[in-house]
Amino acid sequence: MFKLHGIYAPIPTPFKDNKIALDELAGNMEFWLASQLEGIVVMGSNGEFIMLSPEEKCQLITAVCTQAKGKKPVVVGTGCESTQETIEFNHFAAGAGADAALVLSPNYFKKAMNDTVLKKFYLEVAESSPIPIILYNMPGNSGINLSAKLVAELADHPNIIGIKDSGGNIVQIAEIIHSAPDDFAVFAGSASFLFASLALGAAGGTLALANVFPNECARLQELVDKGKFAEAKELQLNLIEANNAVTARWGVGGLKAALELIGLYGGEPRKPLMPLGDEDRELLAAIIKHTQEVCR
């Protein structure tokens, strides 16, 4: 069984002329594959998966899995609104070479998505999946929070191996770590609470910031694993501003601009999302430069 541990980057999807820029993607992948990242997440929130057609999703999954094969594990975001489509994407991802599937809960019919419905959804997906399932709790985008009680119940299934929790509720994360089996991997969904999560026993993180500062994020976990909490805390605080810039402050547009600032391909988000303006780019550039200096 695939073991989930370490720092993963949820990679952005590069576009050029409103199509997936495969050559630019390959160039970015070389950087991430050569870094200290444990693995890659494709078609996460930062990958603008909701903006992709089914054909584009398959194209993207295939490209990433092919390039990463034998180098780093790949987790694929496969969550769809229907159970059937989610299962179909899990099978495609498995065939393409993915190591695990990151499954966001259905969220359009929010009022109907109670614990009973969500539990049945995840269990059916897990039973039908040829690769392990990772729960994806992203209440900021989905509007649905997977409760600690529900997660603990789902964690007993042998094909549900972990959760990426992007909610930022450190109490809930602690409750999940406490109540789930020891081999169930809890991942921080943001670098903003990575240190706190790791200190409580999280197994790693899937972090937007890891696209821009992969080695620094990996080093933070290494410091915690070695019991060097003072150094880890200092690094966490040094990463806070940059993390906020590529998440809450400027979102996908900020993340893609940050990639360009470190020499990778960013490009524009897919509309209706907007790229950063010149003034914000200057502010972002100052933040990235400062973070590079203090994290040396």
What does the CA dihedral 15, 193, 40, 151 come to, rounded to 10 degrees? -110
Q: Which two tokens stand for residue 154?
A: 């789902």
Q: Residues 6 or more apart from 63 whose CB is under 8 A from it?
A: 20, 22, 25, 26
Catalytic residue among 16, 69, 111, 164: 164
Give the CA count within 13 Å in the CB-facing half-sphere of 280.
15
Q: Are the C-beta atoms of residues 179 and 152 closer than 8 Å to each other? A: yes
State CA 179 to chain mean position distance.
23
Q: Are the C-beta atoms of residues 24 and 260 closer than 8 Å to each other? A: no
Q: Which two tokens stand for residue 10?
A: 């949820």
Q: 164 catalytic, yes or no?
A: yes
What is the 8-class DSSP label of residue 3?
-
* Nearest-angstrom CA–CA distance, 278 and 276: 7
Helices (H) and strands (E) in the chain, counts: 12, 10
Residue owning tokens 């950063």: 276
Helix-helix angle 229-244:278-294, to 10 degrees: 170
Residue type, 73: P
27 burial level (CB within 10 Å; 0-12, 13-18, 19+):
middle
Residues across the chain: 296
Q: Which two tokens stand for residue 290?
A: 């400062």
- Known catalytic residues? 164
